[in-house]
Homo-oligomer: A and B are copies of this chain.
Amino acid sequence: MNQTHCKPTFLKIPAQKREKILAVATREFSENGFENTNINLIAKRAGVSVGSIYKYFDTKRELFLTVVQAGIRELERTLEGVYESDKPILSKLESVIRSIQETSRDSALIRLYGGIAAQENASLAREIAHEMESVSAGIYTRLIRQGQERGEIRADIDAGMAAFALDNIFMALQFSYACEYYEERFRVYAGEDILGRDDFVVDQIVRFVKSALQKQEE
């Protein structure tokens, strides 16, 4: 869960250099996918030598994993921010959706996520899954459970499964704002102009999720 994928040397170089490498690598991987990303090019664009990259990371794969992990930590911070507030739970959901709309557009990170699941390299996918999902899984599940305790969310549903369903909706929504494929899919479902109707989307998704989770009257 906390393993690092880089070699110790990477942690000893100036922060600025480290961040430049990660920024360039994130952009390249998210734009081109794992296979089509060229390590030599990343090195050049980050202003370091290939040799150095291989001093910091054993393989292309390790660099990729490091980039993903850095992204996860960023995501974690965003989500935590939303949840730590003390608004009623259902209103937190609205915040999440708005946050997705704001951060996912043009987000290299989300595109990266979209691509991971498809990584031809199955073992790579598995390795990422755990650390990546632990974050949101944990947060969503805790949220649901809290809501159930407070009586704001129905108790007759498994917190994990509800969190799973919720994340299914949110994950696909993220992709819909970040990846061409899902953008197109979103339009097919909701109309050509849906990417410009953010308030409508928030309203509708909240409505859907709210009913799904709310304690049934009576």
CB pair A165–B208 under 8 Å, yes or no, is yes
Q: Which residues of B contact A140 (CB under 8 A)?
A: 189
CB pair B125–A190 under 8 Å, yes or no, is no
User: Contact check: which of B125, B160, B217 meets A181 at CB < 8 Å?
Assistant: B125
CA–CA, A137 and B176, complex, Å: 14
CB pair B208–A160 under 8 Å, yes or no, is no
User: Contact check: which of B114, B158, B216 meets A211 at CB < 8 Å?
Assistant: B216
User: Contact check: which of B160, B165, B188, B200 meets A137 at CB < 8 Å?
Assistant: B188
CA–CA, A179 and B128, complex, Å: 13
**Interface SS majority for chain A:** helix
Q: Count A interface residues, CB 8 Å.
A: 69
CB pair A179–B117 under 8 Å, yes or no, is yes
Distance in angstroms from A136 CB to nearest chain B CB is: 9
CB pair A167–B189 under 8 Å, yes or no, is yes
Tell me the A1-49 residues at the B interface (CB within 8 Å).
31-36
CB pair B181–A126 under 8 Å, yes or no, is yes
CB pair B160–A190 under 8 Å, yes or no, is yes
Distance in angstroms from A27 CB to nearest chain B CB is: 13
Contacts A116-B118, A172-B168, A188-B130 hold; do A207 and B125 have CB atoms under 8 A apart? no
Q: Which residues of B contact A125 (CB under 8 A)?
A: 179-181, 184
Distance in angstroms from A113 CB to nearest chain B CB is: 9
A74 at the interface (CB under 8 A from B): no
Nearest-CB residue, chain B, relative to A124? B181
